[in-house]
Chain A
Amino acid sequence: MCLAIPSKVIEVGEFEAVVDHGGVKKRVKLDLLAEPVEVGDYLLIHTGFAIQRIAPSEAEETLKLFEELIRATFDDEGPPVS
């Protein structure tokens, strides 16, 4: 099962990091990340491995896209729905 919620990095070692996942500290392996990880980063974790660094700013971008789609569609005079 995919863990949908990212975990925050609280300690970084050479090959592993410690993350806080909902108040639980977990050791995760960094083998699958090409870029270095820093304390405070958010990571997606899958079966004990970090699989992606999440940029919190991207969350803002996505929320903006929701707005844009809603606005664009309701402003759109385009072809009728059916």
Chain B
Amino acid sequence: MMKDLRFRDRAKAEELARLIERLAPAEPVKLVHICGTHEVTITEFGLRSLLPPQVEILEGPGCPVCVTPVEHIDEAVALAEQGHIVTTFGDMARVPGTRKSLEGARSEGADVRIVYSIADAVELARKAAKEVIFFAIGFETTAPTVAAAMLDGVPDNFSLLVSHKLIPPAMAALLEGEHDISGFLAPGHVSTIIGLEPYRIFPEKYGMPVVIGGFEPLDILYSIALLLRQLREGTPKVENAYTRAVGSRGNLRAQEVLYEVFEVTDHYWRGMGLIPGSGLKLREEFSSWDARERFSLKVKSNESLHPGCRCAQVITAKATPDQCPLFSKGVCTPRTPYGPCMVGEEGMCHIWHRYGGRPKL
């Protein structure tokens, strides 16, 4: 494993922090990243404590579990209750639906299995006598893996409940209407797949700086410095600070595989609403593997969040977890979550809870 400690060098981090201080304007700057793994690095390494008080960095809608509509969870629960095997990623099973979570359905006897990869779900279907459904969530990084499995060939008793979403349209949605965002730290591995092109709209249409950053502490500090330099110079553009993993055109093979199986559709984001062109659905040729077509799925879903829950504000970078009374009073925890941001491992509330909340400066 190449854990390159040079990207965690303390002296270098302090130098970058001084640089950030030098580049920061006097007025408040709100930077938004869209990635749970960025949030983990920022929180775990206490990077916020290195930023000047006027520079803030918040997580936008970077947690796939958090933005998955309740309707899709209810559909997955309905499939499990019909006696089929439902497979999905770990934290997805814990998010409450209208009546229950997938985990809740499992505790009542339904067959719900946690998988690490779609490949595990396909493997299971090859051995199982029952129908196996993979609840496919995730962004541009995950969707190509699902597409690749479909192109590899899947057994007849396998199908997909698709809930894949696309990041750039959600970033654009944050900029429609009132906002105080000054720049985006674009997600690393989504960008590995899609490259730089889909972000051009942000400098061009919205005058918004974009820097693609890696996941190590120095990567993030460097990306923040680049964003501040763009703001200072008044030259918004798309910069790639993660060239060791992101080519300017992205992973063309993965894009090809992705769009051979899926096509773009409008999608509902929990806490954000309907966002045009922000989701994926199976192409006509693959519709016989669509669980929604194969099974009768009529669910009545309640998309609303718990009245006190600020998840909608957290995923739109309008609030930090400690501004939510349920979080700050310790009522909402991963064991007793009130909203999806505390359930999803990439949710800002979950991550802040894990690392002890806002640093006391």
Interface residues of A (CB under 8 A from B): 1-2, 4-8, 20-23, 29, 31-34, 42, 44, 46-49, 51-52, 54-56, 58-59, 61-63, 65-66, 69-70, 73-74, 79, 81-82
Contacts and interface: CB of A to CB of B under 8 A. Distances in A.
Contacts of A2: 35-37, 141, 187-189, 215
Interface in B210-229: 214-216, 218-219, 222, 225-226, 229
A46 B142 contact: yes
A32 B243 contact: no
A62 B22 contact: no
Contacts of B7: 59, 63
A35 B344 CA distance: 34
A66 to B, nearest CB: 5
B245 A54 contact: yes
Dominant secondary structure at the B interface:
helix
A62 B118 CA distance: 33
Contacts, number: 141
Interface residues of B, number: 61
Dominant secondary structure at the A interface:
mixed
B187 to A, nearest CB: 8
Given A2-B215, A4-B216, A51-B251, A46 B141 contact: yes
29 contacts: A2-B37, A4-B215, A4-B216, A6-B2, A8-B2, A21-B1, A31-B257, A32-B145, A32-B251, A34-B253, A44-B189, A47-B89, A47-B138, A47-B145, A49-B117, A49-B119, A51-B141, A52-B189, A52-B245, A58-B243, A58-B244, A59-B4, A62-B222, A70-B15, A70-B19, A79-B232, A81-B24, A81-B25, A81-B232
